[in-house]
Amino acid sequence: MNQEATGRRGLAQRTLDALITTDPHQRIRLAMAGVSALLMLGCIGAMHLVAAAGLTDPVPVYWWTLACGAGITTVFVLIRSGASRRFADPSLTLFQIVYAIACNAAAYVIAGPARGIAPPILAVIMMFGVFGLTPRQMVGVALYGLVAFGAAGAVVQWWHPAWLSPDSQPPALSAAYLVMIAMVLASSTFLTTRVHSARARLRSQKRELAAAVEQIRELAIRDELTGLPNRRYMLEMMRLEHARAQRSRQPLLLAQLDLDHFKAVNDTHGHAAGDVALQSFAQTVHGCVRASDLLARWGGEEFLLLMANTHPADGTRLLERVRATVAATPVALPGGTQLSLTVSVGLAELAPGESTAALLQRADAALYGAKRLGRNRVLLAH
């Protein structure tokens, strides 16, 4: 029994996939076309009730039904086959609305005394345009609708073929219908403009919110003065790289860099000059390291450099290049003063089973060892 139920569900799913495809975008388009088709079928049913009640000749209603069915079928085939993808509007929203208005205007002509059903149906048709068309397209549709129903009103008022209801319609009633139709078209166009404006505001607010979130994220992970990653971000990256190095057994180096005699810079030249010196130092070091290395401001004049998959000899050579470049790059202070900087570096390699806190402590100890040895040097922890 379960297998039979499963088989029926599988058959139903295959049938559904054959009808509306498995492409999610195509499914949405076909679903919307299906809703339009159901509304059109409702209108067809209403017209046949009118004919069954003897209010109009059933023959034009039958031909009108064939025309409506041809439009529904054409839309389904174009979307289901994928041919509509070549168009600017793959959902064929504009085509469906224009065709539906034409059918609605024709229904107005052949419905006889029941032609008062046309304006409500037109309102439903136009609601699809509110959410699917641009304001410019909606204005064009509204003008087209006025022309179509103006022509339909003229046919009803002045042309009386044999198949049209012989009951003449009072001019005042025709005018009332046309006023209602104009109100439906105008209000739909107005709503489209408002909806389009609201969507534009929402898109703008979404972009602004995304930019604000990105700015907040940058502030959370960036040092405001140097633009480098800050302590919080470095701690997280140290944790991640530590876990990766432990899994892959690849070498991981951590270097602690400290500007020599930086307090004297602030005391002699002022804190503004100290900020310039820190910015210049950050740019110089960042220009020496590799793209895979992570340089961060740790605090004050201290910086950390994280080097993944790097052996101590390679890391030492890179840091010697950093040290030499910093010493050879004077900082231009406001007022034209040239300031020479040097940096001391402590380097440590992650040992098996060692924590990030222990690795940082060894790098820090190596840094102080470099300072004790006279500064302006790189010292590898053992």
Q: What is the mean pLDDT of the segment spanning 104-124?
A: 87
Pairing outcome for strands 294-299 and 252-259:
unpaired
Pairing outcome for strands 252-259 and 302-308:
antiparallel
User: Radius of gyration of the chain from Cα atoms?
Assistant: 38
Element (H, E) at 346: strand 343-349
What pLDDT score does 277 carry?
Answer: 94
What pLDDT score does 116 carry?
Answer: 85
Q: Which of 21-25, 202-206, 301-305, 350-354 has the lowest mean pLDDT?
A: 21-25
Closest to 347 (Cα-Cα) out of 301, 300, 297, 310: 310
133 close to 141: Cβ distance less than 8 angstroms: yes
Element (H, E) at 380: strand 378-380
211 close to 219: Cβ distance less than 8 angstroms: no
Just list the catalytic residues: 301
- At residue 115 the predicted structure's pLDDT band, cuts being 50, 70 and 90, is confident
Alpha helices (H) in 222-270, listed in sequence order: 231-248, 262-269
What pLDDT score does 260 carry?
Answer: 95
**CA distance to 59, 96, 124, 148, 335, per residue, from 100 (Å):** 20, 6, 10, 11, 77
Q: State the amino acid at position 115 in one-letter form.
A: R
66-105 pLDDT tens trace: 999 999 999 988 988 888 888 888 888 899 999 999 999 9
Q: What is the mean pLDDT of the segment spanning 297-325?
A: 95
Pairing outcome for strands 378-380 and 343-349:
parallel
Pairwise CA distance, residues 296 & 223, whole Å:
8
318-344 pLDDT tens trace: 999 999 999 999 998 887 788 999 999
252 close to 308: Cβ distance less than 8 angstroms: yes
Closest to 30 (Cα-Cα) out of 42, 12, 18, 41: 18
Threshold 0.85, pTM exceeds:
no
Burial 281-296 (b: 16+ CB within 10 A, else e): bbebbbebbeeebbbb
Q: What is the mean pLDDT of the segment spanning 296-325?
A: 95
118-165 pLDDT tens trace: 888 888 888 888 777 888 888 999 999 999 998 988 888 776 665 555
5-58 pLDDT tens trace: 555 566 666 666 666 667 778 888 888 888 888 888 888 998 999 889 888 888
What pLDDT score does 1 carry?
Answer: 47
175-219 pLDDT tens trace: 888 888 889 889 888 888 888 888 889 989 999 998 888 888 877
Element (H, E) at 146: helix 135-158
Other Cβ atoms closer than 10 A to 163: 14
